[in-house]
Amino acid sequence: LKEVAIPKPGPTEVLVKLECSPLIPFDTILGCLGLFKPPYVMGAQASGVIVELGTSVPKDALGKKAHVGTSLLRLNNGTWQGTWTQYIIKPFEDVYIYDQKIPHELACRLYGNPLTALGLERVIMAEKPKAVIITPGAASISKILANLLKAKGIAAICLVRNEEGVKIMKSLSYELTFNTSDPKFDEVFGEVLKAHAPTVLVDAVANELSSKIFGLMPPKSVHLVYGGLGGSQVLTVPVFPLVMTDKIVRGYYWSAEDFYKPKAEIKKELDIVNKDFAEGGRTFGGPVVKEYPMAEFKKAIEEQASYASKGAGIIWFSKQFLSLFTLIIYT
């Protein structure tokens, strides 16, 4: 933790006092990517209150609750501006003022998972599948995506690592959930392939099992990779099935799409999530299962994976007693 002076906004900027930020895998792997030289502030999204305005910013923005996010490709003056901090300066056009009745612990999740899920949905729908395989099936973003697909009449087949994951998912009405650690998984999955013929694999794990599953899928299937939680930097693809059955492997990163997309289109997507959150977050929300004060950020990072299938973890920045303001810095 480091204390620094509170900054002042420029003419088109606002100062946002941040309340909280969700814990997501991206936060913990950012340092491993080697894209930025430490030290830098961690975090990619947060919710807070606009407490100071630049001279050109509309006066009615003062005191409004707002969401801020940082993209790898849409940086602030070419530098990473992390959100694990008590105060942040942002261009007013990059701040999203959401429905004021939404609590901070829900609003801080407006950006990453919901917009990624909407982007994945667009890619999937272009393939016109009858069924889609999702792994890891119990992750928060996987549940959002499964909700979106079910609403379109597409079967969402969720793959999890243990029986606890199966129980959690089925208790939430995700009936097509299967345990990849089950000794009978190959047999069971073979029957699933026959029954549903999934033609898209949405994959944030990207490991050997992912490649095996893709190899078994029907001709013209698409392996849509948007993460590497399996820990490997290399995705091994079975060459013969890929070539002879006209399959496709492609990557997806929402911020890459964000970089080229007009901000008005991004706002339309945020409006969709905002409306859902204002009505309780049935599609894009989910429970908060762990909360941490800012001083316990290391513990928060260490524990994040242990409860990810059950709900969100939140770091609170406002619940501190400090003279200036604090940033969480990756070193």
Spell out the per-residue pLDDT of the chain, length 331, in tens.
777 888 899 999 999 999 999 988 776 666 555 555 666 778 889 999 999 999 999 999 999 999 998 764 455 555 667 888 899 999 999 899 999 999 999 999 998 899 999 999 999 999 999 999 999 999 999 999 999 999 999 999 999 999 999 998 999 899 999 999 999 999 999 999 999 999 999 999 999 999 999 999 999 999 999 988 887 778 888 788 788 999 999 999 887 776 667 888 888 999 999 999 999 999 999 899 999 988 888 888 888 888 887 889 999 987 653 434 455 544 4
pTM, entire model: 0.87
β 312-316/325-327 pair status: unpaired
